Structure 1
Amino acid sequence: MKLRHDSRYDPIGYWSRLDSATSHLDPVFAVLDLDALSYNAFDMVRRAGGKPIRIATKSVRCRAVIEAALAVPGYRGVLAYTLAEALWLAETLDDVVVGYPSTDRSAYRKLATSEQLAKRVTVMVDSPGQLDLIDAAVSPHEREPIRVCIELDSSWASRPLGHIGVWRSPVHTPQQARNLARTIVGRPGFRLVGVMGYEAQVAGLGNAPAGKPLRGMLVRRIQQASMAELRERRALAVKAVAELAELEFVNGGGTGSIEVTAADRSVTEIAAGSGLFGPHLFDNYRHFKPAPAAAFALPVVRRPAPDRVTLLGGGWIASGPPGADRLPQIVWPQGLRMVPREMAGEVQTPVVGAAARQLRIGDRVWARHTKSGELSEHTNELHVVDGDAVVSSVPTYRGEGKAFL
């Protein structure tokens, strides 16, 4: 399949085409370019080297896109971010893993009393206390068996740098994984089926930040050392757990680490989702360049001075450490920049630059979100552009009346 769009896109042609295709729409709105989305979906499969990709739904938050990706060979199952979301998705999908532990007792009761949901949904645990909570919600003798996955801590304990990664599971060593697995299989009402580990320090940390070559070199060395340690530790942990339970899957990775995670023989599937939309976070990676499939348009509503205009909205700031890299990236017209003392605001965002002098009230300015699924929290629908036209509009979770987290 030859795509009209790839990662070496022409910015002028690309953004002007999207602007023209959506000329009948009144901003604020968000779009998905079908060619770019297709390119990203197939490129992620290529990077996975034959291992299936489980779609991380927090990075999409749109059922139509999730279902379309699952129809592509190479994608299998989803990784949800809350149990309530998982139960909703499991009404139509048959393989849903919850990526984070839950304390939603009502959701556990719904899961435990439905034979179909109990077969389709796997919950995440990393301590006996989470098992206790489930038992308190529904007695093990009054429920369907609960499918369970153990999360293995994938952070790296560096001697000179300290803790590298994210603070998630306390299960770090193979022995700790074995101990938890023994506890799970020894308790009624649970079935241990998987192991998961998210190497955030590789998957979510750009290894070629623009204008910072020394930082990029340091990050790449950290990632290489971290993965070397994790491959050995994860293999031992999986072996220890597999001696006690028959595992259906071992999940790892993220969009930024697809290749190196896929090379880990102990991993059977990759978790990824952000790469489908290609947010500007991934502009800072050296080994892959997704196409900017998702973007949003803001209208010019004011001209406070000859050299600047004010946009409606714009404060769609991504989660993570506060900083300029969490702000939306203004991409079209080229040459615009935010005002340092105001930046992206909840209801208005002033921008300056040569192009601002030519903008009129009612014109659009295009931006990209730093991350992926969080974009969908700000809009009820995504307008799908194919070539020179909007061919459909699909609801986001928000558009379906769902706000899970």
Structure 2
Amino acid sequence: MKNLNLPLAGNELWRDVVDTPAVLIDLDIVERNIVRGQARLDDLGLKVRPHIKTHKLPLLAHAQLAAGAIGVTAQKLGEAEVMADAGVEDTLLSYNIVGERKLRRLRQLADRCRLTVVADSEEIVRGLAAAFEGASKPLAVLVECDTGMRRCGVLTPEAALQLAKSIHGRPGLRFAGLMTYPAPGQGNSACEWLEDAARLVRANGLTVESVSTGGTPDLHALTHNPSITEYRPGSYVYNDRSVLSAGSCAEADCALTVLTTVVSSPEDRRAVVDAGTKVLTSDLFGFRDYGLVVGRPDISIVSLNEEHGRLECGQQAPAVGDVLRVIPNHACVVSNMVDHVHFVRGDFFVHSERVAARGMS
């Protein structure tokens, strides 16, 4: 395995160190996930640009770069600033930047790293052009495309062409290509949409340097498409219940778990834990309950309050004081719920790490 420069465990058991509720990250699993994801995308001939919103940790971003990633993706300007502060040199900011204050920060950030941004409308392009008027180097801009997610993005290849022309014609900006975030289960069809758009843009005399897509759940089913140049996986570094449900990983590949203690067991098949919405989040992500209890498939986390999680059990409920580990439905949100995560390797404690890009705007 490649040396990802991640710290080793000490001699203390994490059970003797970590109090609940807490987020555990098993670095042995993280290393395997990073290497496996990089190898999969290398086999497909794609550059890897992982999305750091999953972990928000410069240490793991540098591990992904050490494995072969060309740069990172950030979803918020503040996340990109944190990564630049930590020495990450190449960032795609995959979110429309709106407002003079953010545009001033964006101009400053572009002096500190190789920066690419996205746009899906003339309003966004005008703002970027005004902010980068007179810049020493033009800002690289990708046209964001809606290939089925129904979120941000232009709706047709023809609209992508028109916006690409607008970017190309603006001083201070450089049209750099196309990007999308596909809807779940539509990774390959999104690639076909992008291929059509790239062909149309090139036919009109513009260079398409980058064609970028992403999404961990569809990674296992992705087929080679020569028009796609880069992929932006996020959850693959940790995996979670949604990725497990999609068949993209096994339970043993889930590096992030929420550690929680049973604080009440009022009935034979009901218990309450100290992990509520403030650590597990209220994201159902298509499930009926709020996480998978490791080793107890009979348990459902049926409801959450701020500080409580209610468990319904198919067998005898765990006792007061029992400690459980929960694979969350959606790991990315859990990362943003805590100030620190706790690195472990198997049963052994490594150290606690501040979530540096938590809560950034």
TM-score tier after normalising by the smaller chain length: 0.7 to 0.9
RMSD: 2.8
Question: How far 1:309 moved relative to its partner?
Answer: 2.8
* Counterpart check, 1:25 vs 2:18: yes
* Counterpart check, 1:335 vs 2:318: no
Higher helix share: 1
Q: Which consecutive residues of structure 1, in runs of 5 or more, have no partner in the other structure?
A: 3-18, 156-164, 203-222
Question: How far 1:268 moved relative to its partner?
Answer: 0.7
Of the candidates 299, 313, 317, which is equivalent to residue 281 of structure 2? 317
Distance of 2:234 and 2:110 partners within structure 1: 28
Distance of 1:320 and 1:100 partners within structure 2: 24
Q: Which consecutive residues of structure 2, in runs of 5 or more, have no partner in the other structure?
A: 3-11
Question: How far 1:263 moved relative to its partner?
Answer: 0.9
Counterpart residue identity of residue 240, structure 1: L
Runs of 4 or more off by more than 6 Å in structure 1? Answer: none
Counterpart residue identity of residue 88, structure 1: V
Hey, what does 1:383 align to over in structure 2?
A: 342
Hey, what does 2:65 align to over in structure 1?
A: 70
Question: How far 1:307 moved relative to its partner?
Answer: 4.2
Distance of 1:53 and 1:101 partners within structure 2: 22
1:269-299 Cα shifts (integer Å, max 9, x gaps):
1110101111011122235547111001112
Pairs within 5 Å for 1:8-157: 21-48=14-41, 49=43, 50-73=45-68, 75-91=69-85, 92-113=87-108, 116-117=111-112, 120-136=114-130, 138=131, 140-141=133-134, 145-155=138-148
Hey, what does 1:191 align to over in structure 2?
A: 174
- With normalisation by structure 1, the TM-score equals 0.76
Distance of 2:177 and 2:160 partners within structure 1: 12
Q: Secondary structure at the match of 2:184?
A: helix
Question: How far 1:370 moved relative to its partner?
Answer: 0.9
Are 1:64 and 1:394, in contact at CA under 8 Å, matched by a contact in 2?
A: no
1:133-164 Cα shifts (integer Å, max 9, x gaps):
2345x362367522211112212xxxxxxxxx
Question: How far 1:304 moved relative to its partner?
Answer: 2.7
Question: How far 1:255 moved relative to its partner?
Answer: 0.9
Are 1:90 and 1:120, in contact at CA under 8 Å, matched by a contact in 2?
A: no
Distance of 2:197 and 2:161 partners within structure 1: 7
Question: How far 1:32 moved relative to its partner?
Answer: 1.0
Structure 1 residues 320 and 247: CA distance shift in structure 2, 3 A? farther
Hey, what does 2:230 align to over in structure 1?
A: 269
1:284-325 Cα shifts (integer Å, max 9, x gaps):
223554711100111222233354332113222354767525
Percent of aligned positions with the same letter in both sequences? 23
- With normalisation by structure 2, the TM-score equals 0.85
Structure 1 residues 298 and 355: CA distance shift in structure 2, 3 A? farther
Of the candidates 320, 327, 337, which is equivalent to residue 360 of structure 1? 320
Structure 1 residues 321 and 37: CA distance shift in structure 2, 3 A? closer
